[in-house]
Amino acid sequence: MRIILLLIMSLTALPVLSAWQLDNSQSTLNFVSIKKNNAAEVHAFTKLAGVIDDNGLVSVDVDLMSVNTHIAIRDERMKEYLFETSIFPKAKLTTQLNMTEFDKLTTGSSQKVQLKAVVALHGQQQELAVNVLIMRLNQDTVVASTLSPFVIKAEAFKLTAGINKLQQLAGLPSISQAVPVSFVVTFKQ
């Protein structure tokens, strides 16, 4: 019995190397807001989690509570009035990789791909085209980055009322209803 228990324990201690895990410390998701017609500011989300499974399904969760605009009151207002994080705490991006092509990447090589990504945000889902460069840094590390930003439109995700509320609270003449988004995400196996 003791031998069987030791065997079971040793099998459960083996690392599982199939899925690729997002490394939050080496990843970033940025968006640009424009107020007063031409004042652009870069913001970020600091907590991302994600996986690429064995079939190439990519899933990235964005913790909307981690929004960082470098102004605390604006962060709080965005959480409360724009993202409504008490109801919608996360956004999610999912896409499908061609694993045959992905597995061909050798250390130091890269490939450009156009992905159809589904973005789930604020209770809404939209499919967007995302141009990405995938680079294999080594056997166990890949980096994916946007080649060009993709645009999130407030109306498509029912965020217009939240933007209008932020504009009113800040006393601004305008806040853009569309924001460019870019990312660099690192996955390790």
Q: Which residue has the tokens 């990447």?
A: 105
Q: Does the reported pTM lie above 0.85?
A: yes
- For the chain, domains (ranges, CATH) are 17-188 (2.40.128.110)
4: number of Cβ within 10 Å: 8
List, for residues 53-71, the tens digit of each pLDDT value.
999 999 999 999 999 999 9
Distances from the Cα of 110 to the Cαs of 56, 82, 87, 89, in angstroms? 17, 37, 39, 34
The per-residue pLDDT for range 120-167, each reduced to its tens digit, is 999 999 999 999 999 999 999 999 999 999 999 999 999 999 999 999
Q: How high is the pLDDT of residue 15?
A: 42
* pLDDT tens digits, one per residue of 104-120: 999 999 999 999 999 99
